[in-house]
Amino acid sequence: MTETVLQINKDPKELPRAEQEMLKLPFAQNCDQETLDEIYTILEELLLNIINYGFKEAPKSIEDISVIFREDGNTLTIIFRDNGAPFNPLTKLRDENERDEFNLEMNIGGWGINMVRDFSEQLDYKREGEFNIFTVTKKIN
Amino acid sequence: MEITIEQENSVRIIALSGRLDILHAEAFENTIVEHIDNLNENKMLIDCENLSFISSAGLRVFMIALKKMKAKLGKLVLTGMNESNRKVFQITGYEKLFTIAESREEGLSLFYLS
């Protein structure tokens, strides 16, 4: 098992750096482009959630965002850890029955967490002390 | 990401190449909104043949474009999507909302059917 921790600043411009760092990791050397794009989508969606929502409620809090990549065989676990306000992205998951024309148009961008779910095997959230811990488990090839 | 603007008869063509992620979504939104606001014939084709990747932030801009075109009673056609971009449209349900053609030629023909 290998584990790498990335520290991320509270800035969407950090995303390219996060992606570049991700691409250097051992698992990325053996993944096809489609899998890498899915992992990038997961990164972008969840980091933007943290930056846009997690710190909005407590802007003066100590800024601390970590992304932990844990590779174990053909399983990649990505753990997002931040000390923003309590925020569970799973509450933003929308029911598939709501995926009609009206809701898709009215909730622009509101389906991102559904994309994360579709690109992964398991999602878990917990609040641990002052930290949000969101864990994504994904099979990699 | 590169954005190229073309005009073919009455159809404004926006050709995208590269990656449409959070870093490029704003520029794409600004370009598309400006062009929709200034369309004479309310016909737009977005050519995605050379677009390698669409993130959720990029997807949002497509929906903005669709809503603006609908508000103008216009027609928007997307063309040339690769397999992974098509998958993103499928899993988000956006595929049901957009007119999507395989090629630019097929897309252009849709403007002249009715």
**pLDDT (tens digit, 9 = 90+) per residue, A66-97?**
999 999 999 999 999 998 888 899 988 877 66
pLDDT above 60 (res B41): yes
**Which residues in chain B have Cβ-Cβ distances shorter than 8 Å to A13?**
23
Going from the C-alpha of A83 to that of each of A54, A66, A68, A87, the distances in angstroms are 8, 10, 15, 10
Q: Identify the residue whose tokens are 């995926």.
A: A99
- Are the beta carbons of B22 and A101 separated by less than 8 Å? no
Chain A residue closest to B83 (CA)? A34
**Which chain B residues touch A if contact means CB-CB below 8 Å?**
21-23, 53, 55-57, 59-60, 63-64, 66-67, 83-84, 88, 91-94, 96-97
CATH number of B2-111: 3.30.750.24
Bridge partner list, B43: B75
pLDDT tens, residue by residue, B80-93: 999 989 988 988 88
Q: Higher confidence at residue A108 or residue A122?
A: A122
Class of A2-139 in CATH: alpha beta
Contact B63 A99 (CB under 8 A): no
Min Cα–Cα distance to chain A from B76, Å: 15
> Cα(A2)–Cα(A17) distance, rounded to whole angstroms?
20
Contact (CB, 8 A) for B11 and B108? yes
Q: Report the pLDDT value the prediction gives residue A111, as an integer from 0 to 100.
A: 72
Mean pLDDT for all residues in chain A:
85
CB count within 10 Å of CB A38 equals 22
Instruction: Report the residue of chain A nearest B66, measured CA to CA.
Output: A105
* Per-residue pLDDT at A17: 87
Q: What's the confidence (pLDDT) of residue A61?
A: 59
Tell me how far apart the terminal alpha carbons of chain B are, to the nearest angstrom. Answer: 34
Which residues of chain A are at the B interface, by a Cβ-Cβ cutoff of 8 Å? 12-13, 15-16, 33-34, 37, 40-41, 44-45, 48, 99-101, 104-105, 108-109, 111-112, 114-115, 118
Say if strands A65-72 and A2-8 run parallel, antiparallel, or are unpaired: antiparallel
Entry pTM: 0.83
pLDDT in tens, B43-77: 999 999 999 999 888 988 999 999 999 999 999 99
Dump pLDDT digits (tens) for A38-67: 999 999 989 988 887 766 665 555 567 999
Domain ranges of chain A: 2-139
Asked if B88 lies within 8 A of A115 by C-beta distance, the reply is: yes
Say how far apart CA B21 and CA B56 lie, in whole Å.
8
- State residue A100's pLDDT score: 67
